[in-house]
Amino acid sequence: MQDPLRRFKAEFFKALAHPARIKILELLRSREMSVNELQTHLEIESSTVSQQLAVLRSRNIVVARKAGTSVYYSVRDPQVFELLDVTRRIFNIHLADTQSMLEQLEEEEAAILPLRPAKRAPSTGAR
């Protein structure tokens, strides 16, 4: 059985599944930009920027506007930024959880340390 909504979601998330594409969207949050502007900010080849934009365009996440010889890109639906913001909040929760676990491990280690037998000094071999 075909499920168009789940297929759309899967393809949409696949289009977001690259750090360069996420960075492009973050850059486009403030304003539309040309490939050259994006390349400058991303510090990658313009062909790579164009490839990443093509993926985002194919999923209608970004749209292009031609002005003279330049093409400017913008995000089609600002709700994409809400999704990125939610993802950041989820990341922060995971980070806080990880930090909490690390603190618990350190507390356990501190509690166990006095219970461990003292290490012997290495033998020098001389008697």
Q: How do residues 27-44 score in pLDDT, each as one tens digit? A: 999 999 999 999 999 999
pLDDT less than 50: residues of the chain:
none
Question: What pLDDT score was predicted for residue 97?
Answer: 83
- Token pair for residue 12? 């949409």
Question: What pLDDT score was predicted for residue 116?
Answer: 64
> CA dist 2 to 6, 8, 13, 15, 60, Å?
9, 11, 18, 20, 21
Give the length of the chain: 127
> What does the alpha-carbon distance between residue 59 and residue 25 come to, in Å, rounded to a whole number?
13
pTM: 0.75
Question: What pLDDT score was predicted for residue 118?
Answer: 61
Residues of 63-96 as b/e, b for ≥16 C-beta within 10 angstroms?
eeeeeeeeebbebeeeebeeebeeeeeeeeeeee
> What does the alpha-carbon distance between residue 38 and residue 58 come to, in Å, rounded to a whole number?
18
